[in-house]
Amino acid sequence: MNSSTSPFGKPLARVDGPLKVTGQAHYAGEFHVPGLLYGSVVNSSIARGRIVSIDASAAEAVPGVVLVLTHQNRPPIASYDEPYEDDDAADGSPFRPLFNDRILYSGQPIALVVAENLELARHAGSLVRVEYAAEPHHTDLLSELETMHKAPAELPSPRGDVDGVLRGAMLRLDLEYSTPVEHHNPMEPHASTVHYLPDGKLEIYDKTQGVQNCMRYLEGVFGMEGQIRILSPFVGGAFGSGLRPQYQLPLAVMAALKLKRSVRVTLKRQQMFTFGYRPRTVQRIAIGAAPNGQLEAISHQAIGQTSRFEDFTEHEVEWSGMLYECPNVKLDYQLVALDVYTPLDMRAPGATIGVYALECAMDELAYAAAIDPVALRMRNFTAHNGNEDKPYSSKELRQCYEQGAERFGWSRRSMEPRSMRDGHQLIGWGMATGVWEAMQMPASAKACLEPDGRLVVSSATSDIGTGTYTVMTQIAADTMGLPMEQVEFRLGDSNLSQAPLEGGSFTVSSVGSAVQQACQALQQKILDAAQQSPVSPFTGVTLDGVVFDGGRMQLKDRPDTAVELTQIVAVSGVLEVEVKAEPGKQRENYASATHSAVFVEVRVDESLGTVKVSRVVSAVAAGRVVNPKTAANQIMGGVVWGVGQALQEETQIDHTLGRYMNHNLSEYHIPVNADIGEIDVIFVEEKDEIVNALGSKGVGEIGIVGVAAAVANAIYHATGKRIRDLPITLDKLL
Ligand code: MOS
């Protein structure tokens, strides 16, 4: 945080933007390698049973087809008897593509057709004949509820006497909410391009949020320690879908190893519906409160679906024990195993579901207590995390309510449902609170001062389009007192310094801290180098006594001592340092989270039941914001997704077939531009010296949390109807 020219906190455009808009940014399925073959995956059409036989003769007879890979002819796989668990694996036994003849879910990959081009591979795939021995399957969460088992999640122990207090409470609500399966639909479908090198090593372009996770996964699965390099310079959206290696990756590797050729496997849009997703859930929330709305007891139970081979868990109910002041809290989380694939993290996993229910229930409480929904939340504010029994390192949530309400014009709202209209449109104003954890993971970064004075900083993180390249460049340029143009940040290569998965909203706090510390360590090296000269004005000086600015180092308040970094490095040679940043000890005594207040205006056509979200104000407290432009983009993206969650997104399954049916973008609805009105993002000032030296908490997930509840609450305000089952489609409103 050197000079007034520091890029920290400035709304800079993405440094990788020009590469993207000129087509120079290449994605995993676009890299060209010599002699490339193309794979197309054949998926199971039954949900449970056994493959009796696979007749690939017609496919193999197609000229240009070189291989039909199945469980019968795949190469031997080192870890298949004891499956390898990747960094984001759920409890249980990870899915193993082409392991054996068992079918565990509809859409399971059962063969890979490899051909000279993609069209041939896809055509030949349609000629593969599979005979199954089908077994009865169960895919409906609601009809299997009695089989539920406790989720292997460590929940905060109950506090107080929830049942007793609920019985005696003056205000009491007992509500049930349900949310559907939602599938990941990033712009870029999953793809892996495996470059088979002459020495048998593999260089793989993969769509992933964790190059090192994929590297370790392949090393573990195939017993190929030190022979795998994963590259992922650009990712066309992911938000959880790229946290775990997906099946196209091991399939492409199997084919490459068997053929000793380079192979690419790209999933079709329909195949994006054959792996992880947001789980279907039912939730029950009971609230006891005083007549003035003061919370006395909360009981929150969630039941989610999972596969038969893994217990997928996420933080669905914890929020109800930490967001508000409440002395009596009981949380419960159950899973129902079905003949489906395992769910997967999807933007703000758990919070999108749990906070949706909690914040709808809070709106119902506001009406039961006849107090304004914002006032109700202010009344129940706490600066203390009741689950962890720790103070928050910072929680400027009240500023979010105040500034958001002010910007939205909330004071002009009339409380009564159906009291605001514009012609035949019913107008509704609703709000909700959002919350997400502010985590930090160990991460490393390397900083290198080149002879030309350029700073190259690197770490094996990724940029899913959210701005990692840009904010890391800003942090490095700021720390080093260099203009942005003289700094380059490299990522998306498993050979770079250790970085965690790019997820959980912890990239800035984890990798950003490593970048900052690496640059500080490099400054020490530069100072040491400058002190090598006996006549150096820096002799005996420590880092506190010098300033780095504009590509020069000088003694504090002594511009006459300024020396160009290029001069120092010309003598010393390239200076390089690698640093590992750990979460600070000071964090242990605090809880840390990001918060938001979301205000929504809906317009509901009274006769048609159509809902338009015309305005959203999201006021966010996330510590210091490195780049208000990329950060606001993230919040907007989250808001759009939240509108989709509220009104559109639902993967529908035909339980007779056990198969997701609307597996394309014409039937799986997501918001388009015409569905979205104004989105106004506010970052409230929040000073936090506990979370990390940057004071930044991360903004990847908070944007979506609370949005669906705010929309549902606005719909109630517009129509007087409480729809507790997402998505709120027009049939439910008529
Ligand atoms: Mo996020 S669901 O951790 O990409």
Would you tell me how many other CB atoms lie within 10 Å of the CB of residue 542?
9
State percent of the chain over pLDDT 70. Answer: 99
Would you tell me how many other CB atoms lie within 10 Å of the CB of residue 309?
18
* Ligand 1 atom at minimum distance from 502 CA: 4
* Ligand 1 atom at minimum distance from 464 CA: 4
Instruction: Express each pLDDT in 414-448 by its tens digit.
Output: 999 999 999 999 999 999 999 999 999 999 999 99
- Whole-number Å distance between alpha carbons of 155 and 398: 27
Instruction: Express each pLDDT in 165-190 by its tens digit.
Output: 999 999 999 999 999 999 999 999 99
Q: What is the mean pLDDT of residues 368-372?
A: 98
CA of 169 from ligand 1 middle (Å) equals 38
Distances (CA, A) of 406 to 166, 491, 622, 631, 709: 35, 40, 19, 21, 20
pLDDT beyond 60 at 216: yes
Model confidence at 164, in pLDDT bands (50, 70, 90)? very high
- Whole-number Å distance between alpha carbons of 725 and 731: 12
- Whole-number Å distance between alpha carbons of 597 and 593: 14
pLDDT beyond 90 at 362: yes
Q: What is the pLDDT of residue 83?
A: 86
CA of 676 from ligand 1 middle (Å) equals 23
- Whole-number Å distance between alpha carbons of 705 and 698: 14
Task: For residue 399, give every residue at least 6 positions away whose Cβ sits within 8 Å of its Cβ, in sequence order, or none.
Answer: 619, 621, 684, 685, 686
**DSSP character at residue 415:** S
CA of 271 from ligand 1 middle (Å) equals 20
- Whole-number Å distance between alpha carbons of 728 and 191: 33
* Ligand 1 atom at minimum distance from 239 CA: 4
Of 634, 643, 641, 636, the C-alpha closest to 696 is 634
- Whole-number Å distance between alpha carbons of 500 and 513: 13
Q: Strand 425-437's sheet: what is its strand order?
A: 421-422, 425-437, 593-605, 611-621, 676-683
Model confidence at 81, in pLDDT bands (50, 70, 90)? confident
**Amino acid identity, position 136:** P
**DSSP character at residue 597:** E
List the Cα angle 28/30/33 in 5-degree steps.
100
Task: For residue 293, give every residue at least 6 positions away whose Cβ sits within 8 Å of its Cβ, in sequence order, or none.
Answer: 171, 365, 366, 369, 371, 375, 376, 379, 380
Higher confidence at residue 31 or residue 534?
A: 31
Instruction: Quote the radius of gyration of the chain (alpha carbons, Å).
Output: 27
Instruction: Express each pLDDT in 345-357 by its tens digit.
Output: 999 999 999 999 9
Instruction: For a ligand 1 pocket test, name from 86, 207, 315, 345 the mutation site with the most ligand atoms within 8 angstroms of its C-beta.
Output: 345
**Amino acid identity, position 566:** T
CA of 16 from ligand 1 middle (Å) equals 21
pLDDT beyond 50 at 1: no
Q: Are 68 and 128 in contact (CB under 8 A)?
A: yes
Q: What is the mean pLDDT of residues 320-336?
A: 98
Of 314, 326, 315, the C-alpha closest to 286 is 326
List all residues whose CB is within 6 A of at least one atom of ligand 1: 209, 239-240, 243, 345-347, 349, 503-504
* Ligand 1 atom at minimum distance from 504 CA: 3
Q: What is the pLDDT of residue 493?
A: 98
* Ligand 1 atom at minimum distance from 347 CA: 2
Instruction: Express each pLDDT in 252-298 by its tens digit.
Output: 999 999 999 999 999 999 999 999 999 999 999 999 999 999 999 99
Q: How far is CA 126 from the centre of its chain?
A: 34
Bridge partners of 176, per DSSP, are 284
Token pair 């006021």 is found at 619
Q: What is the pLDDT of residue 533?
A: 81
CA of 171 from ligand 1 middle (Å) equals 37
Instruction: Express each pLDDT in 461-490 by its tens digit.
Output: 999 999 999 999 999 999 999 999 999 999
Q: How far is CA 567 from the centre of its chain?
A: 43
The H-assigned helical ranges of 43-126 are 57-60, 118-125
Residues identified as active-site = 701
- Whole-number Å distance between alpha carbons of 628 and 352: 23
Q: What is the pLDDT of residue 4?
A: 63
Would you tell me how many other CB atoms lie within 10 Å of the CB of residue 113?
29
Of 159, 154, 390, 153, the C-alpha closest to 295 is 159
* Ligand 1 atom at minimum distance from 505 CA: 3
Token pair 């068992």 is found at 102
pLDDT beyond 80 at 230: yes
* Ligand 1 atom at minimum distance from 243 CA: 4
CA of 562 from ligand 1 middle (Å) equals 45
727 prior amide bond cis, ω within 30: yes
- Whole-number Å distance between alpha carbons of 600 and 709: 10
**Amino acid identity, position 256:** A
Tokens of 158: 């109950």
Instruction: Write a three-state SS string for 527-547.
Output: HHHHCCCCCCCCCCCCHHHEE
Q: What is the pLDDT of residue 658?
A: 98
By DSSP bridging, strand 611-621 and strand 593-605 are antiparallel
CA of 522 from ligand 1 middle (Å) equals 31
pLDDT beyond 80 at 2: no
CA of 692 from ligand 1 middle (Å) equals 21
Residue 30, judged by CB atoms within 10 A of its CB (0-12, 13-18, 19+), counts as middle
CA of 469 from ligand 1 middle (Å) equals 18
Of 372, 352, 351, the C-alpha closest to 363 is 372
Distances (CA, A) of 670 to 190, 360, 648, 676, 713: 19, 22, 6, 11, 20
Exposure of 704 in the CB half-sphere (CA atoms within 13 A): 22
- Whole-number Å distance between alpha carbons of 111 and 128: 9
Of 71, 203, 202, 189, the C-alpha closest to 128 is 71
